[in-house]
Amino acid sequence: MKYLDEYRDPALARRLLAELGAVATRPWRLMEVCGGQTHTLVRQGIDELLPAGIRMIHGPGCPVCVTPVAVIDRALELAATPDVVFTSFGDMLRVPGTSTSLLQVKAAGGDVRVVYSPADAVRIAAAEPRRRVVFLAVGFETTAPANAAAVLLAESLGLTNFSMLVSHVLVPPAITAILEDPECLVDGFLAAGHVCSVMGYTEYEPIAARYRVPLVVTGFEPLDLLEGILMAVHQLESGRHEVENQYARAVHRDGNQVAQEAIRRVFRVADKEWRGIGSIPDSGLVLADGYERFDAALWFPSGPRSPESASECIAGQILTGVKTPTDCPAYGTRCTPRHPLGAPMVSSEGTCAAFFSAGRTAAAPSPALNAATS
Amino acid sequence: MTASPLFTACPAPTAETEHVLLGHGSGGRLSAELLSEVILPGFGLAGSAGRPLEDAAVLPLPTAEIVMSTDSFVVDPLFFPGGDIGSLAVHGTVNDLAMMGAVPVALAVAFIVEEGFGMRELGRISQSLGRAAHAAGVKVVTGDTKVVGRGAADRLFITTTGLGVRMPLARPSAGRVRPGDVLLLSGPIGLHGVTILSTRDSLGFETEIGSDSQPLHRVVAAAVAAGGDGVRALRDPTRGGVASALNELAAASGVGVLVEETALPVPEPVSAACDLLGLDVLHVANEGCLLAFVAPDKADAVLAAMRSRPESPGAVRIGQAVAEHPRRVVVRTGIGAERVLDMLVGEQLPRIC
C-alpha cells in the first residue's frame, strides 16, 4: 500500500522508539487530544512500547464521549417522534441517554437511519418532503465543515423539512480548560492532525506560549504518532514550547480557508457543555443568525432537561487525564462495551472502550498475554 | 402459461405480473405457476411437468456420518459485485457443511418473498442459486416459498438447509485445537463485507473489488487429503469476521491464539475502506475463505494442498495456537506490540471521524 505502508514500517518504528529512549532523560506526560489517535495508540500497542517514563494521557477528543446526556436524551425524544426521520453517524447509536439509546429507539419502531455524510440526510429530506428529517450534528472542527455544507445544501434546495440537532465542540478551548485545571498533569500535547487540516494551527500558538507547553500537530498512523511524541519530547527536553507540525503532508498553518468560511457562515461560537467535564466558555458551535430555521432544538418543543449522569462513571477524570480507565472501579466489571455506564466505553474511539478491547486491566499493564484476565 | 378464459373477467392477479403478489403465496394456481415458471427452472429443475413434486425429498445416503446445517440469508443489496443473495445462500450453507469436513449432498431452500418483489429479480436470483448449486455439485431437493404482505419482510429472505456426508478422514472440530497447531488462512479477508458496504447507496465510495463468495468444500477436501485428521479445526469467518471465528475456536478449545498482523492478506481497497470508515478488517465479514488449525507436522502439506486449489492460491500461515493466554486471541501488530483481539459487541458501526 503506497500511501499507508510508509507510516507503518516496523524498522522505522523501532528507530524512532530507540531515539525516544535516548532523548528522554526524565518522565513526561503527553496528551493526545483526539480519539482517533487514542485508537491507533491502543490498537497498535504503541503506548506499551514507549520508554518507561513516557506516559500517554488520552484526552477528551472523542466527540461521542463528550456529547452531554441532555443532547442524547433530546435526540432520543426526536427519534421517537412519529413523522421524524432521525439521522446520525453510526457510533452515536449506542450512546446511552438517561434510559435508552438510539439503537433501542430504532428497535422500538423509530425511524433512525445511519448516514455516512450529513449530505445524505439532506438527500433524504429532499426525497421525503412529508417527513421531518433531523441530523445529529456532533463532532469537532473536522465534521463541522461537512455539517455546514449540508445546511447550505438544504438552503439551496429550499428545504423546509431538514434540521440539525447541533452539539459541536472545539478543541483549543478544551486544551485551555485542561491546562487551567489545577490537577492538570499534562506536559505536552499532540494536536489532532485532521482538526488542524481544517483550522490550521495559529489558534494553538498563543496557548503554547501562555502555558509554556509544546503542541505538536500529529497524524494518525503509527509512525505519525511516534514522530509526534518524539518531537514533543525533544521540545520538553530542550525547554522549548512551540507549535510544531509533524503532519505537514496534510496540514498547512492556515488550514483550509474554504472549510473555515463554511463554518463561519453557518455556525457561531458559544459556550458549551461537555459530558463529564462541564461547561467550557466558547468551546462549541451553534447555528448562526439567519440559520436558526435549521435548528432542530427550535423546531421541537423542549422536554425537561436531563440531569447529568449520576452514575459511578468517572468520565470527566478519564477525559482530562487525571485518571486512566483501569483506575475506575467499574471498569471491565459493571461497565463494559456491552453495558456502558458512560460515554468513554461506548464509542470505539472512547478511551475506556479502546482499553477494554485491547484487554487492558489494572493488574496487567501489558495485558495481552496475561491469562489471568481471560 | 396464460390464465384460463374463464377467469379473464376476474380481478385476481395473473402470472404475467411483473411483481410477486400475495396470491403467489396462496398455495393455489399462482403459487404453482411461480414455482414451475420462475423458481424451479432457475434452480435447473423441471417444474410440474417433470417429476411429481412431493412433500419431501427421499435421499439415498451412504452409511456414513451425515452432517446438517441451516442458515438464513438477509442481505442488502440483493445483488452485489461477485454474487447475489441466491449464490450466497448456496455458498453459505455449503461452507458450513465443509467446515465440518463434509461433502455437500443436498440442499433445501426456503424463500420468503415480500409482496411486490420484482418477478424478474426473483427469476435471476433463482437462476443464480441454481447455478451456484450446480457448480458446487449439490442438489436442491426440496423447498418452500411464502409471500408476505408489503412491509412484512425486506424484499427477499432465503433459508438454505444442507445435508452432507463427512469425509472418512475428516474430524475437524472447534474443540480440537491444541497449542502448537498452525493457523492457516485460505485467502484475502474483508472482501465481502467491504463490497457490501460499498454498494449501499448512502456510502458514496467505489471500489473495484467484489465479494469473495465461493464454495470451499473442495479446498477442505484437498486439505483433508493432505493432512487427514491433522486438520484439527476449520471455520469460515463470515459475520463477525476473523476476530469472531478465532475467538470461538479459542474458547471452544481452551487455547490461546497468536496472529501475526503482517501476515494477514488484506487487499488494498479493503484496507483503504476500513481506514476510511474506522472499521477493523478482522471484524469484517467474509464468504469465501476459511481458517484452519492444523497439526504442526501436517501444516506445510495442508498449506500446499490449499494453494493448489483455484479457490485458495493465496493461502497463508497467519499464526498459531499457544498455551499462553488461554481462550484469548492476541494480534502481534506491525510495529511489534501485541493487542487482544476481541469479538465485537453488536454491529460494527463506522466512526464519526
Contact A370 B351 (CB under 8 A): no
Q: Residue A245 pairs with which residues in a beta bridge?
A: A217
At residue B239, the 3 state secondary structure works out as coil
Q: What would the 3-class secondary structure string for A250-285 be?
A: CCCCCCCHHHHHHHHHHEEEEEEEECCCEEEEEEEE
Q: What is the complex's ipTM, to 2 decimals?
A: 0.75
pLDDT tens-digit map of B222-235: 999 999 999 999 99
- Check residue B48 and give its pLDDT: 46
Mean pLDDT of chain B: 89
Whether A42 and B339 lie within 8 Å, measured CB to CB: yes
State the Cα–Cα distance between residues B286 and B238, nearest whole angstrom: 5
pLDDT on residue B220: 98
Coil, strand, or helix at residue B84? strand
Residue B251 has pLDDT above 90, yes or no: yes
- Please name the residue of chain A whose CA is at the shortest distance from the CA of residue B276: A116
- Going by the DSSP 8-state scheme, the letter that residue B118 receives in this structure is B
The DSSP annotation for B138-153 comes to -EEEEEEEEEE-TTSS
Residue B135 neighbours by CB under 8 Å, 6+ apart: B215
| Cβ contact B351–A367 (<8 Å) | no
pLDDT, tens digit (0-9, with 9 covering 90-100), for B261-301: 999 999 999 998 888 777 889 999 999 999 999 999 999 99
Substitution target in B253, B335, B343 with the highest count of A β-carbons within 10 Å is B335
Is residue A185 classed exposed, middle or buried when 0-12, 13-18 and 19+ CB atoms within 10 A define those classes?
A: middle
Q: Angle A144-156/A118-127 helices, nearest 10 degrees?
A: 20
Set of chain A residues whose Cβ sits within 8 Å of the Cβ of B351: 36, 39, 89-91, 347-349
Q: Does the beta-carbon distance from B337 to A117 stay under 8 Å?
A: no
Q: What angle do CA B171, B175, B178 make, to 5 degrees?
A: 90
Q: Which of residues 307-326 of B touch A (CB under 8 A)?
A: 324-326
pLDDT tens profile B36-60? 889 889 888 865 445 677 778 888 8
d(CA A142, CA B349): 19
pLDDT digits (tens, 9 = 90+) for B87-118: 999 999 999 999 999 999 999 999 999 999 99
pLDDT band at B351 (very low <50, low <70, confident <90, very high): low
d(CA A273, CA A283): 8
* Per-residue pLDDT at A156: 98
User: What Rg do the C-alpha atoms of chain A give, in angstroms?
Assistant: 21
Q: Report the Cα–Cα distance between both ends of chain B, in Å, rounded.
A: 56
Any A CB within 8 A of B76 CB: no
DSSP output for A102-122? HHHHHHTT-EEEE-SSHHHHH
Distance (Å) from the alpha carbon of B78 to chain A's nearest alpha carbon: 19
Distance CA B62, CA B68 (A): 15
Q: What is the mean pLDDT of each run of 10 residues along chain A (374 residues)?
A: 69 93 96 89 88 90 86 94 94 83 90 92 97 96 96 98 97 94 91 95 97 97 96 98 96 97 97 89 97 94 60 79 88 86 76 83 52 34
Q: What is the DSSP string of A52-94?
A: TTEEEEEEEE-HHHHS-HHHHHHHHHHHTSTTEEEEE-GGGTT
B278 touching A, CB under 8 A?
A: yes
What are the φ/ψ torsions at residue B61 (nearest 5 degrees)?
-100, 145
Q: Which helix (H) or strand (E) segment is B192 a member of?
A: helix B191-199
Would you say residue B241 has pLDDT above 70?
Answer: yes
3-state SS, B303-320, equals: HHHHHCCCCCCCCEEEEE
Percentage of chain B beyond pLDDT 70 is 90
Q: Is the peptide bond before A68 cis (omega within 30 degrees of 0)?
A: no
Q: What is the pLDDT of residues B306-343, one digit of tens each?
A: 999 999 999 999 999 999 999 999 999 888 888 889 88
CA distance A178 to A324: 15
CB contact under 8 A, A44 and B326: no
The predicted structure's pLDDT at residue B2: 35
pLDDT of residue B13: 40
User: Which residues on chain A are in Cβ contact (under 8 Å) with B271?
Assistant: 1, 4
- Test B353 with A369 for CB contact under 8 angstroms: no
Q: Kindly list the residues from chain A whose CB atom is less than 8 angstroms away from the CB atom of residue B204.
A: 116-117, 120
| Pairwise CA distance, residues A304 & A326, whole Å | 34
Cβ neighbours for B276, distance < 8 A, ≥ 6 positions apart: B205
pLDDT of residue B238: 94
What is the average pLDDT across B9-27?
66
CA pair distance B26, B147, nearest whole angstrom: 8
C-alpha distances in Å from residue B148, one per residue of B21, B30, B110, B115: 9, 14, 13, 6
Percent of chain B with pLDDT over 90: 68
